[in-house]
Chain A
Amino acid sequence: MAKRMAVRNLRLCTKDCLCLYVCPTGATDTENSIIDTEKCLGCGVCADACPSGAISMVPLEYPPQQKKAEAVVARANVLARSKALQEQTARQLARQAREDGLYRLLTAVTKSVRLVNEDLLREAGYMLPQGAPAHALLQSLVEAPPAGFPVEAARELLARIPCNEPEGKEP
């Protein structure tokens, strides 16, 4: 089975068309310029031939993410809680804002804090959807779902994204 697939970045593609000439299955020649994943063999000749560097070979499997020190994760979680409160506060203040400038500024703060917090939690163990922390979280939500939780969505995620490291507690 192929271990990677070709993906075209339309912002970089300068339509030199070499990918069309070299692809053995015609996967690169499509009406919407998106490489056909059904046809792609993952051979990489298109990426090698592309003069604008617009095609990259995206892996289908990923190595386990880096382990994080407990002391770092504990500190990151404290900061993440602070950021979540800031995001919620800014969201509510934006809703209340009467002036247009203030509304836009607080909306920007809401988005900014969310992005910073995503980055923080990514480094605190939730980098890969395939990682053990993401899986353990989905599993616990499926087993003891909060009221109204979309259990089917979590189940589908567990089925579609296999875990790429041993699950459960570390030795």
Chain B
Amino acid sequence: MERWICGICGYVYDEGKEGTPFAALPDSWVCPLCSAPKSAFSPAGAPAQPDAPAAPAKPVEDLKELSAGELSVVCSNLARGCEKQYKDREAALFRELADFFAAGTAPVSDPDPEGLMDRIRRDLEEEYPALSGAAVAASDRGTQRICVWGEKVTRMLDSLLTRYRTEGEDFLQNTQVWVCTVCGFVYVGDAPPEICPVCKVPAWKFEKIEGRV
């Protein structure tokens, strides 16, 4: 009898109590707490994730110049920083800059869901382990923290897009899509979780995504 732990929220699936071996659960089974896919679970006692590769194979590109898309993110982040310091005017000014750069972001030619999912998976397989490895080497716990959160949120996006590909509109009919406004965790359900499984903020920090008006 084994216990399986959800890598997103920490929910424990105890085979002894549940009666069904974890391996016997259908592939469509999801975490009852945060709806993470079966693949996000690992047996208790096993390392939460494989060790980050010591040296990333790919050389780091030189990205001195930030693109318009990245500049928009830098500015919207600084706007949030101003909000936290109760600097409303400054926050509005940074948002104005963020909007300018968002409007000037080059469109992606022929966007398709498969390309998006490929990019998300590459982050999970290569970029997060590489960044996390660099952060460990530099004893940078702040960056390790964003790797922990970002990886969980990204794994959830991969799982939701995969589910949509398999189940289509049925998956989202008569239910809601929620985004944690702090860490970006996406949750599908009638009501948001009581606390965010990733960053632990309360339910009111979740935003409901409305359909087209």
Contacts and interface: CB of A to CB of B under 8 A. Distances in A.
Interface residues of A, number: 71
A150 B138 contact: no
A72 B135 contact: yes
Interface in B104-125: 104-108, 111-113, 115-116, 119-120, 122-123
A71 B185 CA distance: 27
Contacts of B78: 126, 129, 134
B74 A109 contact: no
Nearest to B92: A153
B119 A123 contact: no
A123 B171 contact: no
Interface in A43-100: 58, 62, 66, 68-69, 71-72, 74-90, 92-93, 96, 99-100
The secondary structure that dominates the B interface is helix
Interface stretch (B9-17, B28-36, B42-50, B148-156): B148-156
A4 to B, nearest CB: 11
Contacts of B119: 82, 85-86, 89
Interface residues of B, number: 84
Contacts of A84: 67, 69-70, 72-73, 105
B69 A87 contact: yes
A27 to B, nearest CB: 14
B60 A101 contact: no
Contacts of A141: 97
Interface in A130-171: 134, 137, 141, 146, 148-150, 153-154, 156-157, 160-161
A115 B134 contact: no
Contacts of B71: 137
Interface in A91-125: 92-93, 96, 99-105, 107-109, 111-124
B82 interface: yes
A66 B142 contact: yes
A66 to B, nearest CB: 7
Contact of B186 (A79, A99, A108): A108
Interface in B128-153: 128, 130-131, 134-135, 137-138, 140, 142-143, 145-146, 149-150, 153
Given A102-B164, A149-B100, A88 B69 contact: yes
A19 interface: no
Given A72-B135, A93-B116, A127-B81, A116 B70 contact: no
Contacts of A117: 70, 73
Nearest to A149: B100
A123 B182 CA distance: 15
A137 B210 contact: no
Contacts of A114: 73, 76, 184
A22 interface: no
Given A101-B164, A108-B177, A115-B179, 19 more contacts: A5-B86, A11-B204, A68-B140, A69-B140, A74-B60, A78-B130, A79-B131, A81-B67, A90-B116, A93-B113, A104-B177, A105-B160, A109-B157, A111-B207, A115-B183, A116-B153, A116-B183, A118-B80, A123-B142
7 contacts: A77-B63, A86-B116, A103-B212, A117-B70, A118-B77, A119-B183, A149-B100
Interface of B: 56, 60-63, 66-67, 69-74, 76-78, 80-82, 85-87, 89-90, 93-94, 96-97, 100, 104-108, 111-113, 115-116, 119-120, 122-123, 127-128, 130-131, 134-135, 137-138, 140, 142-143, 145-146, 149-150, 153-154, 157, 160-161, 164, 169, 171-173, 177-186, 204, 207, 209-212
